[in-house]
Structure 1
Amino acid sequence: MFSSVLSLCLCWLCYLLLFLGSGVLLVFLLYCGYIQYTHMKYDHIPGPPRDSFIFGHSASIDVTKDHKVSHDVFLQWAEEYGPVFRINLFHYVGIYSTDPESVKEYLMSSEYPKDPNTYNRLFYLFGKRFLGIGLLTDPDHQHWYKQRRIMDPAFSHTYLIQMVEVFNERAEQLMEHLEEKADGKQQVNMHALLNRVTLDVITKVAFGMDLGLVEGNKTAFPEAISTVLKGMIHGLQNPFMQYMPQHWAYVKKVQESADLLRKVGHECISQRKQAMLDGEELPKDILTKILQVAQQGDGLDDEIMLDNFITFFIAGQETTANQLSFTVMELTRQPEITQRLREEIDDIIGFKREISFEDISNLSYTTQVLKESLRLYPPGPGTARYIKNDAEIAGIRIPGGVPIVFNTYVMGRMEKFFPHPLTFDPERFHTSAAKPYYCYFPFALGPRSCLGQVFAQLEAKVVLSKLLQRFEFELVPGQSFEIMDTGTLRPRDGVVCTLTPRKVT
């Protein structure tokens, strides 16, 4: 009797497994059919051969191996396949364009939203809310515009002038720290220190937080930001990573980092709101201004405020630190440019420790150097817009329903836009030089351009001016000029230098 029941159970189990297996097979075949449909729809657009039918070009642009920068691959493809080419990742298709007219049309108009297929994938990071629908990622133009109107006053000219005091204060702390190490022997990781000072700045001017990182205080913030950025790029390239057991430990670390950032943000926003209700004196920072403006209208819910909290940390800290690091790295092999920078700083600032807003405004050659750094090493290399309807770019028909990607790293390194593109030449951005025609957009362009770009460049000028005012620096042997792609672009080796006090004649 028992053996009969067991046989029956095993029989039903076999039928069940067969049924489930058939279902899985059917789903897989349907998915493959959909991939084939996308290939047929877009394969008339030039592009490199796919690495595989299902994974598309994922192996070619995998930044997790061989120290590869995916944007160098895109540059190679742009040179080989022309101004419009396609890439495939699973069932996704992306169109890359290096046609300046298309940059002008799609970035300068509010008609084309940010690509929801790309930016909605940043709403969560491995199941944890990450960038949500903050200013950077919101694909809905009307909802984004409401947020932008609330945020704009916090980045007004008046507010920016007030921030210069904090820029000076935090930069001076960095200079004092470097003075202790400027003996020509101690090795200094400039990228790590610049990360600390920019994080100190953004937490202070945006949220009234005093982390004291430059002074040596310990916090998990820098590591958390770095971790979520790496997780972001890995998650975009492999949407199934969180379901693969070999990646679970890494995924958990990314999730914990995202939780940490949102937890601290929640505490910060809640405390400020309570202080406003209690009638306490409020710090004159970005958060206060945003909450005051939001009270006058419909406001933003706490989750969207947290989305922007994370966005400000990444856009306001990571990218500025990377820009400064790349600039210092490049100046170590540009003695003539460095000398000219010092002469401008000596002439305008002299030995002053407090750099004024007016001083910063007069640093014209410094501006050129920072712009050239952004051309060659843009921390945020690209942006994407969504083409809903059929279009034509550079004579090529683009069926609607795809993202079009614009990459300032790629266009900034193309000979046809910038002669001798790998030569660091700040004269490209002299006021009398021809303005690059829609091929240079390190902060994007048009209505969705970066809200904090003036903030970032003011901060960069203060920090760079103080560095050149006080120190000589050179890379230690073994340092490379290579780039690492971690969601943003940063120097691979950290720009490890030795410093000596500057000899002023």
Structure 2
Amino acid sequence: EAPELSAPLSRTITISNFLIAMNWSALVHHIFILFPLLPPPPPPLFLKQITIISDIISHSTIILNGFFGNGLVTARDHEQWYKQRRIMDPAFSSLYLRGLMGTFNERAEKLMDKLAELADNKTEANMLHLLNCVTLDVISKVAFGVDLDLLKNSSPFPKAIETCLKGMVTYVRDVFFEFNPKNRRNVNEVREACRLLRTTGAKWISERKTTMQNGDEVPKDILTQIIKTTRLEQYFILFVTRQSQETTANQLGFCIMALGRHPEILEKAKKEVDDVIGMKRDISYDDLGELVYLSQVLKETLRIYPPAPGTSRDVAEDMVIDDIHIPGGFSVVFNSYVSGRLERFFKDPLRFDPERFHPDAPKPYYCYYPFALGPRSCLGQNFAQMEAKVVMAKLLQRFDFTLVPGQTFDILDAGTLRPKSGCNKLQKI
């Protein structure tokens, strides 16, 4: 018999709720919970069937539409989503991604310069903050042609993005939040942050449209693709905050923390980088394919510390999958944080072991899904992992890093999962 879930679970999703879900799922194998409760993971067969069906859509609410618009993540109409996905596909093609290596290298080099300065002064580095700066620099440059240079210049963007995401999470978890007079200040801060992102996005879009109307040549980047859609400014928030910025920074932060705890894995990754990259300043697209062990390290990081800890699907009509009856009109939620930590799917699951993702190892089908699964999987996942590889390879090439004494390994749930404490000590090689 399954234990009763704690009452706050339906209103507030926290790390403690993840642990409750893990304990519950250990007792009940075939299970799903209807939104807004946090679920234990379903069996892989169940997840496979429900994610590959094209007319089952990602979960959406009025609140999410308000933050992200009626776009790739939130569009409920399949035809509308399909049209938008086809428009955006060219901006993430392998040919286009190859052309981004120059930007990845350039922005990563600026991070290395900043870290070298900190290392020379024997200053502890808040890596998560710096990683957020460089990933936002990258997506702003390649998606919108804008050079923010956040490692040198102050900007309201990082704070606005953080405020917007926190507000989204708060609104989702407590639909009455904005109606409580005590929360008026927070509500106004969130509205101002979202307004800043929307107006700035609209400005950049307007400038690009003017360039296109004048017949001038423009890059075939994300911004050009966005202009082919409607409600343009709403996509700006989606791509800057979710697709390839904050989640990538969080993944890199967790990866650095994990390597700091496992010096033998750190040394193996450094040796591979030395063998493949050597003393080269710029990393090529072909080099990325040879960094096999580093890929394993990044994948293992996503297994234990998935920045996006779950996904969901709306079910339009009654259906039965693996003897489970799902009523139409409900949502099914899948929790990648929980499934990645279950003995049922991964032996000794709390041990950080990149060998799980060795090319010859059994593939963890439908129990490992950091970028979701099926037709609605994350469009920017290859972009994000290329960027993460370039940054990590350069870090391993240039620096030894250790964790600050007393460093905690707590996880902060702020809509995405991130290291609660992001400080590391750096020393140049």
Distance 1:328 1:468, change over 3 A: same
Q: Report 1:85-484 matches (<5 A).
A: 85-86=32-33, 97-115=41-59, 118-124=60-66, 130-183=67-120, 185-214=122-151, 216-283=152-219, 285-291=221-227, 294=228, 300-301=229-230, 303=231, 305-314=232-241, 315-484=243-412
Give the whole-Å Cα distance in 2 for the aligned partners of 1:190 and 1:425. 23
Distance 1:425 1:334 in 2: 10
Cα contact 2:40–2:338 (8 A) shared by 1: no
The aligned amino acid for 1:278 is: N
Cα drift, residue 358 of structure 1: 0.6
Q: 1:342 to 1:477 in 2, by over 3 A?
A: same
1:119-157 C-alpha deviation (Å, 9 max, x unpaired): 443012xxxxx1011111112111011001111111111
Please name the residue that 2:18 is paired with: 71
Residue type at the aligned position of 1:48: E
C-alpha distance in 2 between matches for 1:449 and 1:378: 14
Q: Partners of 1:341 and 1:427 in 2: how far apart?
A: 12
In structure 2, the CA distance between the partners of 1:469 and 1:444, relative to structure 1 (3 Å rule), is: same
After alignment, is 133-142 or 363-372 more displaced?
133-142
Name the CA distance, whole Å, in 1 between partners of 2:46 and 2:313.
11
- Aligned alpha-carbon RMSD (Å): 1.9
Structure 2 CA distance for aligned equivalents of residues 254 and 155 of structure 1: 30
| 1:301-334 superposed Cα distances (whole Å, 9 cap, x missing partner) | 2x2x222211111121001000101000100011
Question: What is the Cα deviation at residue 280 of structure 1?
Answer: 2.7
- 1:58 maps onto 2:58 in alignment: no
Seen in structure 2, the aligned counterparts of structure 1 residues 367 and 62 have a Cα distance that, compared at 3 Å, is closer
The 1:355/1:365 distance shift into structure 2, 3 A limit, reads same
Q: Is contact 1:46–1:86 with CA below 8 Å preserved after alignment? A: no
With normalisation by structure 1, the TM-score equals 0.81
CA contact (8 A) 2:24 2:40 kept: no
Q: C-alpha deviations, 1:249-291, integer Å up to 9, x for none?
A: 1111111111111011000000000011112343453213554
CA distance in 2, matches of 1:290, 1:402: 31
The CA deviation string for residues 228-264 of structure 1, in whole angstroms up to 9 with x for no partner, is 1111111111000000111111111111111111011
Counterpart of 2:9, as a letter, is H
Relative distance call for 1:199 and 1:443 in structure 2 (3 A) is: same
Number of aligned residues: 428
Instruction: Give the direction of change, closer, same or farther, for the CA distance of 1:203–1:388 in structure 2 (3 Å limit).
Output: same
SS at match of 2:74: coil
Q: Please give the secondary structure, in 2, of the residue aligned with 1:86.
A: coil
Which one has a bigger Cα radius of gyration?
1
Shift of 1:48: 2.3
1:387–1:284 distance in 2 versus 1, CA, 3 Å: closer
Q: Which amino acid is the alignment partner of residue 58 of structure 1?
A: S
Q: Is the 8 A contact 1:95 1:402 kept in 2?
A: no
Distance 1:279 1:388, change over 3 A: closer
Secondary structure, aligned partner of 2:333 = strand
Distance change >3 Å, CA 153–CA 354, structure 1 → 2: same
Label 1:406 to 1:256 Cα distance change in 2 as closer, same or farther (>3 A).
same
2:197 partner SS? helix
Contact 2:64–2:74 at 8 Å: present in 1 too?
yes
In structure 1, C-alpha distance between the alignment counterparts of 2:225 and 2:326, rounded to whole Å: 43
SS in 2 for 1:500: strand
**Deviations 1:333-356 (Å, cap 9, x if unpaired)?**
111111111111111110101100
**Contact 1:97–1:404, Cα closer than 8 Å, also in 2:** no
Tell whether the 8 Å contact from 2:33 to 2:332 is kept in structure 1 after alignment.
Answer: no
AA matched with 2:65: F
User: SS where residue 346 of structure 1 aligns?
Assistant: helix
- Where do 5+ consecutive residues of structure 1 fail to align? 1-44, 125-129, 295-299
Q: State the one-letter code of the partner of 1:312.
A: F
Residues 1-56 of structure 1: CA deviation (Å, up to 9, x unaligned): xxxxxxxxxxxxxxxxxxxxxxxxxxxxxxxxxxxxxxxxxxxx9672562xxxx6
Q: Which runs of 5+ in 2 are unaligned?
A: none
Q: List structure 1 runs of 4+ shifted beyond 4 angstroms.
A: 93-97
Q: TM-score, normalised by structure 2?
A: 0.95
Secondary structure class of the residue paired with 2:57 = coil
Equivalent-residue separation in structure 2 for 1:310 and 1:203 (angstroms): 11
With over 3 angstroms needed to count, the CA separation of the structure-2 counterparts of 1:48 and 1:85, relative to structure 1, is farther
**1:491 partnered with 2:419:** yes
The 3-state SS of whatever aligns with 2:54 is: coil
Report the CA distance between 1:96 and its aligned residue.
Answer: 5.3
Sequence identity percentage: 50
Secondary structure of 1:386's counterpart equals strand
